[in-house]
A and B are shown apart, each in its own frame.
Chain A
Amino acid sequence: MQRLRWKIVGHGLALLATLVLGGLLSATLVRLAPGFDSDERELDPHLNAQSVQALREARRRDDNIFYFYLSYMKRAKSGDLGTSIAMGQPVRTLLQQRIPLTLRLLGAGLGLAWILALTLSLTTAWLRLSIYDAVTTFASAALLCLPAAVLALLSVLWNIPGAIAIALIVFPHTYRYARNLLGKAYSRPHIVAARARGVGEGRILFWHVVPVIAPQLLALAGVSVSMAIGASIPVEALCGLPGIGQLAWQAALGRDLPLLVNITILVTLVTLLANSSADVIGHMLRRQDV
């Protein structure tokens, strides 16, 4: 129990450190990015010399990276994440509007990918037919050779929902790993012996296979969240779905750096939380197994 507590504390500290460091790194990159010092509002003929000077003064304060980041953190604490340059709206409002759709898309996509991967890898392990294994492996390898953006384009062409496109992007990675894990687990001597004695497949799966592979599968679940978030960018951008992925793409095209920094921090937080949760639950399962 003590070790588990320390593990949770360690993950929490790592999360905090990564957020602070990641935020500082993003702020530094934003500050050093070409074009940061220029403001196209200065070209507005309606502004007089004093207004232009005021704009320059406001920017000069951001010259110091640490000041820039500290003031950002202070504002963030009170819920002010800044204003998007390209869209002219508060970043917080933009994120609030788009998070629900992305969550639904990721949830459905990940669910489908996992159902497909586990079903195919389990049937491969049960059937032990080389032709079936070859067909499923070929299908997953073919999907691995397609860029995520092409799958998104094809989903638009064939009127397939975005969640299925995300599932097809994530599926080959999860399937390959799950298939190997199950293959190894089912070739263990005690499972071969149990099968030879006629023990039911369901009993073997839930009593002997799942406890062994659960921690690794959980780790893969954590990684698959990160994969799905990456996949959401081309899927949302090309399928016209107004989620966080599309927002990130629009921010990148418009070089909307304040928005991009906030999305970066949000995505880092989500992926780290997913990986840390998977690690902690996996640790708990291993303890129960011991």
Chain B
Amino acid sequence: MRLGRTIACVVLALMFGISVAATWLAPAGYARQYREAIDEPPSHAHWLGTDDLGRDRFARVLYGTRISLLLAPAAALLSTFMAALVGGLAGYLGGAWARFAMAVTDLFMSLPWLFLLITVRALMPLNVSPFVSVLVTFLLLGLLGWTTAARVLCASASSLRSADFVRQARAAGVRGSRLFWVHVAPNLKPVLFAQFWISIPVFILSEANLGILGLGVSEPMPSWGSLLKELEGLVSFGAEPWKFLPLALLVVVVTSFQLLLSRQEELPA
């Protein structure tokens, strides 16, 4: 298992490195059109061919990887922060606040995740600039994906509230925010860390789903979701196998995160 995790770490580092180096590896950019080479198969000039608008697929895959790989952790950070705020405080404060916070959480959780995403995404304008669409997509993931983590954090904070060392601190006169920040919050760190890692593959997959359904990142900006939309036009599995590269990368990255998660599960909470 340790070997698996090492490989996962190397793969993720490599993918991050390649996506960051996209500017140098594909200097022409993701939006440049080669009108003389539309929907071409792989060649020396275009390693993964071109799409139906004549854009270099290799460049689009690199830039798409950058967007999906850098923004999914950002969205995960936001959702973990929201979960810590709602769940951590609810568990720590207890009583009516906890009941209210968990009722709101249940309300969000009563809707299927993808359904909630497309509903809220539909409320936002769809004809926005590509950059805004990237921000809207990943902000939505971050702002809506906190519920499960909030439940876990609420349970952890609630158990910490009645822990011996917290009672002792309270008996010693430590109160309010100091008690929370000095004694409770540091003990929530492993749970927060685990929730952060769990959220990343979930958000990568969610962005891919939204992109394929046409509700994700707008053209011409690439992301794994919008790149996978190309599979819609395929007539057979073996006809244009290079179109499956974004899917292969996505599977490799999500698998790597899953392997790292098994390490997180072993960490003491």
Contacts and interface: CB of A to CB of B under 8 A. Distances in A.
B110 A249 contact: no
A238 B258 contact: no
A109 interface: no
Given A145-B254, A145-B258, A260-B119, A230 B124 contact: no
B114 A233 contact: yes
A226 B112 contact: yes
Contact of A249 (B124, B201, B213): B213
A266 to B, nearest CB: 11
B75 to A, nearest CB: 16
Given A29-B120, A229-B112, A230-B113, A149 B208 contact: yes
Interface stretch (A18-26, A52-60, A66-74): A18-26
B215 interface: yes
A47 interface: no
Given A158-B237, A260-B122, A234 B213 contact: yes
A227 interface: yes
B255 interface: yes
Interface residues of A, number: 48
Nearest to A252: B122
B247 A150 contact: yes
A146 B251 contact: yes
Given A153-B231, A248-B118, A252-B215, A147 B112 contact: no
Contact of A252 (B121, B125, B228, B250): B121
Chain B interface category by residue count: 35 or more
Contact of B115 (A32, A144, A248, A255): A248
A4 B124 CA distance: 43
Contact of B258 (A32, A34, A144, A234): A144
B208 A150 contact: yes
B212 interface: yes
Contacts of B237: 157-158
B151 to A, nearest CB: 13
B106 interface: yes
A157 B111 contact: no
B258 A230 contact: no
A65 interface: no
Contacts of A248: 115, 118-119
A267 B112 contact: yes
B208 A264 contact: no
Nearest to A146: B251
A121 B254 CA distance: 24
Interface string A141-171: 1101111111001000110000000000000
B114 A33 contact: no
B232 interface: yes
A234 B126 CA distance: 18
A255 B122 contact: yes
A272 B208 CA distance: 27
Contacts of A150: 208, 212, 228, 231, 247
A272 B212 contact: no
A75 B236 CA distance: 49
A102 B113 CA distance: 18
Given A18-B107, A230-B114, A233-B115, A147 B208 contact: yes
A127 interface: no
B123 A257 contact: yes
A21 B107 contact: yes
Contacts of A271: 110-112
B124 A33 contact: yes
Contact of A147 (B113, B123, B205, B215): B205
A145 B251 contact: yes
B234 interface: yes
A35 interface: yes
B214 interface: yes
A196 interface: no
Nearest to B254: A145
Contacts of B110: 18, 22, 226, 268, 271-272, 275
A26 B112 CA distance: 15
Interface of B: 103, 106-107, 110-115, 118-126, 201, 205, 208-209, 212-215, 225, 228, 231-232, 234, 236-237, 247, 250-251, 254-255, 258
Q: Which 10 A-B pairs have the closest CB atoms?
A: A230-B112, A252-B122, A149-B212, A147-B208, A33-B123, A230-B114, A145-B254, A252-B118, A149-B209, A229-B112
Interface of A: 14, 17-18, 21-22, 25-26, 29-30, 32-35, 141-142, 144-150, 153, 157-158, 226-227, 229-231, 233-234, 237-238, 248-249, 251-253, 255, 257, 260, 264, 267-268, 271-272, 275
12 contacts: A21-B107, A22-B111, A30-B123, A35-B125, A141-B258, A144-B254, A226-B110, A252-B122, A255-B126, A260-B119, A264-B111, A268-B110
